[in-house]
Structure formats: structure tokens, C-alpha cells
Amino acid sequence: MRWMMLLAALVLSACQHVATPTPTPTPTPPPIKGEIVDLRSGQLLTAQQLVARLAASSRIIVGEQHDNRDHHELQLWLLQALGARRAQGSLLLEMLTPDQQLRVDDVHQASTPPNDVPSALAWQSGWDWNLYGPIVRFALEQPYPLLAANLTNAQVRSFYAQPPTLSGARVNAQSVKDELLAQISESHCGLLPTSQMPAMLAVQQQRDRRMAERLLAAPTPSMLFAGAFHARKDIGVPIHVLDLGEPQAPTVLMLAQQGSDITSAMADYVWYTPATPAPDYCEQMRKQFGKP
């Protein structure tokens, strides 16, 4: 009788052990306060609700304002919060080019990080290391790969000199090209000669196509950090993904300052961050172009 009671106790103990769920790690609160909106429903979300929804996506694009420190702090937080929910497959950066990939891989596989990480990566000075450094350093410490998503400078020069024909009905729609041309003109403060606009458009779309190709080839779940216009569902990388034959577009989270007009055509989710004053880039460009 005693052995039967002991057996019953062991069985009960085993059942209790199996039934105990593994707790999901709770991410720390995000470093930046703001308003998160599901653009498809208009629903306001908490940061944790957003992470839970993003965790179900195999491919995510996060659109950023390159010089906004808040956006980079949120990107790092998202990587950490999503990693607490499921294994990350890869991280892709617009800021890295294919000719840097071997350097990235070497640093990633090194037993100890180099003393000067930016030099070891041949990091391009046009991307502020003070903003991107924390993201890159974190990614290099993870088991998943950090991948280049942009074109080389040589490829940019080649596409600028001789714009190639780009395949795909979506990317060749006149409405897409008109929107991109308007964005290119605005970002250059209307100072670009009309003759340069087709070449600039070609480079922009070839960058989008490269990012789409790299995103499709990357281990999933994958995440791409890129500028807002590259990230947009209606004109950027997502339509290239669809034109390449993928049946479903990546999930797009747009990081944008309060007051920005982000619609459901542009993104699935938007995280509005506090508005911050920006330098007068147009004044700088007018000086560069020698115009008053």
C-alpha cells in the first residue's frame, strides 16, 4: 500500500511539473514615451501590445528618421523586447553595404570585440556612430547575423550613370514614381536640376530593390532598419517584395515625430515620438549649391 501511495505522489508531482508554464520575460519599459497606433484599426496600443503583434511577423521593416536619437533608442529596445519573446533570425541595416559584410562577420565571430569597432567595420561617416553604435554593438553580441542591405558606392555610381530598367508592375506605377520624385526633390530642397531627377529616382528604387532582395534572403524572423521612405508600404521596399513574387508584404512599423501624417497606406503601425527641433538642412544645402 505504501508503494502505491509513493507512486501516486510521484505521478502527481510529474503532472504538476509539466503543467507549469514557462514565464514570458517582461521587457523593460521603452526608453521613449509616445503614442502607438495600429493604423489598420485606429486602435491605440501599449508598447507590450505592439511587441506581441510584431512577434507574430516573419519579416518586419522599421522606418526611421536617420538623425533622430529617439528612434534609434526605440530600435534597440524593440530588438531586446522581441528577443525576449522569440528567437531573432537576423537584423538588416540600410547603413551597411555588401563590401562591409566580411568585416561585420569577422567582428561578429571574434572572441573579443576590437578596440575600435567603427574602424573594424569600415563604418561610413555619413551614419552617426553615436546614434547607430549601440544598435550595432548589441547586434554583434547576438547569435543571429547582422546583414548589409544597401548598395555599394560603386553600384550607386553605376546606376546613376546608366539607370537600368526595373521589373515589376507596382514599382513602375506612375503614382509611385511621382511620389518618389516629389520626395527626392523635397529632400534636396528643390535644388536638384531636373536633368538629374531620373537618375536619382533610379538609385532610390535600386536601393529599395536591393533591400527587398536581402530581406527575402535573410533568416527569419528578420528585421530591417531603414529610412522612412524606404520603409513605406506604398512606395518602398514592401512593394518590391511583392513584385519579387512574395505573396505577403513585410509588416511595417514607422517611427515618426508627433505631427507627422502617417496613414495606413504607408505602414501597419506608427510610433509617434516627441517632436524635436531640427537644423535647417535647406540652408546648408543652399550654401552647398551656392544658391541664396
Distance separating alpha carbons of residues 69 and 91, to the nearest angstrom: 19
End-to-end CA distance of the chain: 99
Q: What is the pLDDT of residue 289?
A: 60
Across the range 242-255, mean pLDDT stands at 98
Lowest mean pLDDT among 132-136, 191-195, 233-237: 191-195
pLDDT digits (tens, 9 = 90+) for 109-121: 999 999 999 999 9
pTM of the model: 0.87
Strands (DSSP E) along the chain, which ranges? Answer: 35-38, 43-45, 59-64, 90-93, 146-148, 222-227, 251-257, 269-273
- Is it the case that residue 279 has pLDDT exceeding 70? no
List the one residue out of 214, 240, 217 whose CA is nearest residue 225. 214
pLDDT digits (tens, 9 = 90+) for 13-23: 433 333 333 34
- The neighbour count for residue 91, using CB atoms within 10 Å, is 24
Question: Residue 8: which pLDDT band, with cuts at 50, 70 and 90?
Answer: very low
Domains of the chain, first to last: 34-288 (3.40.50.11550)
pLDDT digits (tens, 9 = 90+) for 140-182: 999 999 999 999 999 999 999 999 999 999 999 999 999 999 9
List the one residue out of 62, 34, 19, 6 whose CA is nearest residue 268. 62
